[in-house]
Amino acid sequence: MLAILRCSHRSVRLVLSLHGAVLLLCSSGLSQDLPPDAEQTAKLEFFEKKIRPVLVEHCYECHSGESKTLQGGLSLETAQGLAQGGDSGPALISQKSDQSLIIQALRYESTQMPPRGKLPDQVIADFVQWVDSGAADPRVGDSAPIKKSIDFEQARLFWSFVSPKNPDLPVTKRSGWIESSIDHFTLAAMEARQLLPVSKAGKRELIRRASFDLTGLPPTPQEVDAFLADESTNAFAKLIDRLLDSPAYGERWGRYWLDVARYSEDQAHTFSVQPNTHGYRYRDWVIEAFNSDIPFDLFVKYQIAADLMPIDETERLRNLPALGYFGLGAQYYKNTDAAKAAADELDDRIDTLTRGFLGLTVSCARCHDHKFDPIPQQDYYSLAGVFHSSRLHNAPLVPSPEVDRYNAAQQKIKQLDEAIQQTIAREGPKLREARISEVKQYLMATRDFQLAKASDSSLKLPAFAKKNELEASTLKRWIDFLKSKEASPPLALKPWFNAIALPSDQPSDQPSDQPSEAAAVAFAEYIQLLLRQRDGLLSSEEQSKLTQNAPTGNARYISPMVTRSSPTASIDVEIQGAKELFLVVNDGGNGPSCDHADWLEPKLITASGEIDLTERKWETVTATYGSVNLDKNVNGQALRVAGKSYSKGIGTHSTSVLRFELPDDAKRFVAVGGLDNSGADQGGDCGNNARVQFRVYTESPTDIQVGQSDLLAEIIGEKGLFAIELKDIEAKLPEGFRQTLSVQRSELESLRRESPEIYPMAHVIAEANPSDLQVMVRGNPANRGELAPRRFLRILSNQTPRAFTQGSGRLELANAIASSENPLTARVMVNRVWQHHFGRGLVGTPDNFGKLGEPPTHPELLEYLTVKFVEQGWSIKSLHREIMLSATYQLSSDRNDSNQQIDADNRYLWRMTRRRLDVEAWRDALLATSGRLDGKLQGPSTNLADASNNRRTVYAFISRHELDNMLRLFDFPDANITASVRAETTVPQQQLFVLNSPFMIEQSKAFAARVLIESADSLEGRIQHAYRLAFGRKASPGELRVGLEYLQAIDAPEQKELNKLDRWERYAQALLASNEFLYID
């Protein structure tokens, strides 16, 4: 018997049946079809007709062995591949279509597959039917293709992963040109390409080049003269040594490193971010590190783990600011997707670490193995675990005893200040309560003002209040209060509104005072009764009188105001005969904020004993905020009031009403009403203003509604009608109180004067709870994979690296990066130094030494310099000397047509490339030339927008959120990411800045004034002095002639009015705006 079946999507195979045996001819070897069971025939036919063709047409391109890259790690060409799934888990769960990822993807409910467009509804329905019927699938084979593994041994043969070795000096033809070992390598490369070096630069060019290279400042005329006069063979070496010893050296080369460190003092967003007010200490540390020539391996270690290094306390405190390399890093807004924001912060640290120190783009392995370099995704998360086990911290830069002294002094100041404020706050309620006697006066005044206003529309409330010896602000609050009650007045205010409603036959200017006065007196008496009720002073006669205005629901008990200064109230209420108990917390009249209240140890005293109220569930509860919790506060935390913890109680928030049913023999209710944690844990001034009142009822309250203040609080509450500003309370206090406060304030001022100044601190990274991270599948924090032990990169380890065991692992990481056995760290730094001397590194991609980076133009030279760098103790200053004393560095920038045809980009260094000053050197040179440069070192950052700011640009405040306009215009790098190479643009706005900006105008004026003051002789002498200041040389005859002609000319009268600058100032501006000023030969 011969049957033809489809064995795979790629070809048709023959299935031969002989004597009951089945032979499958499947040449691919990747999958094979098994003969279907009789009962499965219908299901398999359905798969072959409805499912397989769709998979072949729409899915196999990305999810089969034919795929160039198996997307998502998911193979759909076998049943096992579907069941095992990919990065996101199993793609199919038999008989559960709603839980199967493949169905969700087809429906476009999660991932949208196929990506080119959603399949027809009927096709999706076929897939649902197939899955729910058991997902019959004859395709059998490997569950998934074998994942390609990284051959680390082979990968370590790549040039940048091979440890550098000192090469032999190459043989050259023009040996007489060579002045240093460097020249052997550069000349050999030139000769191999038929290139010839141009002539040596002149001494004027060399001093200007070296001065800008090492200090970022132009040489003074005196320095130029001294160098020209020095005819010794080591004159240039002495110049280099002098420049390296200058404090300006660290300012220049420290700024280069700050680009790598993406130094900034704020964040790209402004939400919930504390400013890095001490960020400048990292900048100052970097400057000092370059000036003192800290060995670069130590420079690296300090920035990763200065807090963990085995060094003495003095050295540790001096170098803690180095941790700003990470401590000043990006912080992302975490209110929407906190997990992703945290992952982004880890990525920032990994990227800055690996590109900055290692020249590797490890961040590319965040979502998958690196596509080009031997960096598996697990290695990325091994490093991420180190930073996950660290935290941002503000570290004191003084010994602990100094910190303790400062904190102790501040604590005394805080306690005394709080005592003063609480003394005043405690007297406030008394002063407000004393003003109940003024209720009638202000009620009548509201009526009188409205009547007077009706007669005289020009009448102003302040004038009326002053005439009647009233407070305008208080009268305004009374008017607004009564207006708000007019539509639905409380029972006690109805007589007042009835009294002021004039009969239609009575003239409006002849009101009857008698009903109004009677209503005002009655309301004032009612408020007084409410106050006495609150304080538990009502007589039975007064209780009866009070009931007339509130027939039911009057509180059996009203507590005094419970505040931060008086955080508890003892409650003991007689409730015999009552059927229900209502426990009410209101906001004390100052609004429902900061009112976390607790009913502590609430008990019912009955004839048969005590009953813990927390054991009887309330019948109903109404609350305006949060939840009401048993034995926890409103936030679900432990109950704590006035420094004491309580195990039993009810946590709530104003305004809330709890109703309990009472046993028949209940006699009394006892409890402690408390302001939770005494308001101390509530931010800002919230805790200071926290204010609640506890009330107990045995009938449904009618004199209070949830969410509304009660009448007494509205009159004499902290924010009520008789509110008194805290600053005004003191003036109203009795003389004795004012004297006591005066003494306390004198003591407070004395404490502030004698308190030590706040200690310096730095924004750093510190140890947290060490833990390894799981790999985030596809970089998704919600999809975790295998555990990644904290350890170093495998490609930079001779064998499988050992897991870090010392805390976070930062110190072990620092040692691994700064090791002389690490093939990258020294190479990368040597290349950076070369880059800033020549405008381009030996490796043109200074932060990518991987496969996508450029190979070195002079590989043996890079090896030589790297080996020597390490041998000379990782000294950067020694590296400068090695480079700058070479004939290669001292070449002129002259052009050579023959060379230009072969190497137009000057990659092989046959000339010195002319370079444009970066914005810092250009601005600093403008200030230096104009005579206004402030040479002060270090200190807090300055604002470049300030016209009087004459500090070096390195001390400017650097913002990620809003970079200074001048810096942005002249290609300053984005401080959100590490930067090794700056863009160089030429746009019209730059020239407009040079012509019109206030900064340039001021420098032009100052430059002109300096020339006139310092060179008081002839006009020709002044021109020559201007050229020497600006360019370090004399003016040529042609330049001198142009200058004389311009400066001797006279402006026409109409031009004088238009010009903001005189001729000398305009001439000075032209010199400062010239290309020669902006470029270095």
SS (H, E, C) 648-679: CEEEEECCEEEEEECCCCEEEEEEEEEEHHHH
Percent of the chain with pLDDT strictly greater than 90:
61
Angstrom distance (rounded) from CA 616 to CA 605:
14
Give the count of beta carbons closer than 10 Å to the beta carbon of residue 284: 22
The pLDDT of residue 283 is 97
The pLDDT of residue 843 is 97
Q: Which range in 640-644, 722-726, 1008-1012 is most confidently predicted, on average pLDDT?
A: 1008-1012
The pLDDT of residue 680 is 62
Strands (E), 380-539: 390-396
pLDDT of residue 386 exceeding 60, the answer is yes
The pLDDT of residue 262 is 96
Max CA-CA distance within the chain? 126
Residues 6 or more apart whose Cβ sits within 8 Å of residue 490? 711
Angstrom distance (rounded) from CA 444 to CA 448:
6
Residues 6 or more apart whose Cβ sits within 8 Å of residue 138? 33, 34, 36, 44, 47, 48, 79
- Whether the Cβ atoms of residue 954 and residue 293 lie closer than 8 Å to each other: no
The pLDDT of residue 624 is 78
Per-residue confidence band for 225, with pLDDT thresholds at 50, 70 and 90: very high
The pLDDT of residue 730 is 75
- Whether the Cβ atoms of residue 443 and residue 496 lie closer than 8 Å to each other: yes
The pLDDT of residue 1037 is 94
- Between 739 and 212, the more confident residue is 212
How far lies 750's CA from each of 412, 743, 758, 910, in Å?
11, 11, 16, 71
Give the count of beta carbons closer than 10 Å to the beta carbon of residue 1076: 13
pLDDT of residue 597 exceeding 90, the answer is yes
The pLDDT of residue 64 is 80
- Tokens representing 510 are 């002849």
Section 326-346 average pLDDT: 87
Residue 604's DSSP bridge partners are 611, 669
* Three-state DSSP state, 21: strand
Give the count of beta carbons closer than 10 Å to the beta carbon of residue 789: 17
Q: Which of 659, 598, 683, 657 is nearest to 633 (CA)?
A: 598
Q: Which helix (H) or strand (E) holds 775?
A: strand 773-776
Weakest mean pLDDT among 578-587, 621-630, 950-959? 621-630
Per-residue DSSP letter, 599: E
Q: Which helix (H) or strand (E) holds 5?
A: strand 2-6
Pairing relationship of beta strands 644-646 and 639-641 according to DSSP bridges:
antiparallel
CA angle 309, 356, 269 (to 5 degrees): 100
Give tens-digit pLDDT for 986-1034. Answer: 999 999 999 999 999 999 999 999 999 998 789 999 999 999 999 999 9
pLDDT of residue 1046 exceeding 70, the answer is yes
Q: Which of 553, 559, 558, 599 is nearest to 698 (CA)?
A: 553
The pLDDT of residue 553 is 55
Q: Which range in 113-117, 266-270, 477-481 is most confidently predicted, on average pLDDT?
A: 477-481
How far lies 999's CA from each of 612, 996, 1029, 1069, in Å?
77, 8, 19, 11
Residue whose entry in the numeric block shows the structure tokens 């941790």: 323
Helix (H), strand (E), coil (C) string for 336-357? CCHHHHHHHHHHHHHHHHHHHH
* Three-state DSSP state, 394: strand
| Cα within 13 Å of Cα(409), Cβ side | 16
Whole-model pTM?
Answer: 0.74
Per-residue confidence band for 430, with pLDDT thresholds at 50, 70 and 90: confident
Omega prior to 801 cis, within 30 of 0: no
CA dihedral for 446, 450, 451, 457, sign (positive or negative): positive
Give tens-digit pLDDT for 861-884. Answer: 999 999 999 999 999 999 999 999
How far lies 190's CA from each of 185, 834, 907, in Å?
9, 18, 10
Kindly compute the dihedral angle of the four CA atoms of residues 791, 796, 798, 799, in this order, to the nearest 10 degrees.
40
- Between 560 and 260, the more confident residue is 260
Angstrom distance (rounded) from CA 938 to CA 280:
8
- Whether the Cβ atoms of residue 562 and residue 597 lie closer than 8 Å to each other: yes
How far lies 466's CA from each of 473, 480, 483, in Å?
11, 19, 22
pLDDT of residue 426 exceeding 90, the answer is no
- Between 52 and 1077, the more confident residue is 1077
Angstrom distance (rounded) from CA 447 to CA 693:
32
pLDDT of residue 1 exceeding 70, the answer is no
* Polymer length in residues for the chain: 1081
- Tokens representing 949 are 């700011």
- Between 139 and 868, the more confident residue is 868
pLDDT of residue 343 exceeding 80, the answer is yes
* 557-705 fold: Jelly Rolls (2.60.120)
* Three-state DSSP state, 569: strand
Weakest mean pLDDT among 141-155, 401-415, 819-833, 899-913? 141-155
φ/ψ region of 426 (left if φ > 0, alpha if ψ in -120 to 50, else beta) reads alpha
Average pLDDT score over the chain: 88
- Between 130 and 512, the more confident residue is 130
Per-residue confidence band for 398, with pLDDT thresholds at 50, 70 and 90: very high
Give tens-digit pLDDT for 495-541. Answer: 898 888 855 445 545 455 788 888 888 888 888 888 887 777 778 78
Classify residue 324 as exposed, middle or buried by CB count within 10 Å of its CB (0-12, 13-18, 19+). buried
Residues 6 or more apart whose Cβ sits within 8 Å of residue 89? 101
> Hey, where are the domains in the chain?
2-141, 338-397+763-822, 557-705, 998-1080
- Between 142 and 874, the more confident residue is 874
* Alpha-helix residue ranges (DSSP H) falling in 919-1036: 919-930, 965-969, 988-996, 998-1014, 1019-1031
Angstrom distance (rounded) from CA 709 to CA 145:
71
Percent of the chain with pLDDT strictly greater than 70:
91
Section 225-244 average pLDDT: 96
The pLDDT of residue 148 is 67
pLDDT of residue 726 exceeding 90, the answer is no
| Cα within 13 Å of Cα(708), Cβ side | 11
- Between 907 and 682, the more confident residue is 907
The pLDDT of residue 142 is 58
Per-residue confidence band for 70, with pLDDT thresholds at 50, 70 and 90: confident
- Whether the Cβ atoms of residue 1067 and residue 1044 lie closer than 8 Å to each other: no
The pLDDT of residue 32 is 42
Classify residue 91 as exposed, middle or buried by CB count within 10 Å of its CB (0-12, 13-18, 19+). buried
